[in-house]
Structure 1
């Protein structure tokens, strides 16, 4: 999932738990800086600076 802040993660997990009570979230990982978003390479400011095709 892509969220705007760490607090958004908790809110999203609560919504998921209510919507899908049989689902269990067992782990989470936080990435502080994305170097790629979809098929775009990003610079330190988050601007697209290149293209990396996504394979099938």
Structure 2
């Protein structure tokens, strides 16, 4: 799955890079653009293993 989101940066105390998850819009942060890519990959892997909600009848 190719992610087409742009990784942005902002300065809080130090430069911080961030993007949002395409599935849940949660902000993924890191100290460099490569950290953000790795963190986003792990976050998307967690979505694969989430339990699906069971509808009660």
Per the normalisation by structure 1, the TM-score is 0.33
Higher relative contact order (CA 8 A, sep 6+): 2
More strand by share: 2
Q: Is the radius of gyration larger for structure 1 or structure 2?
A: 1
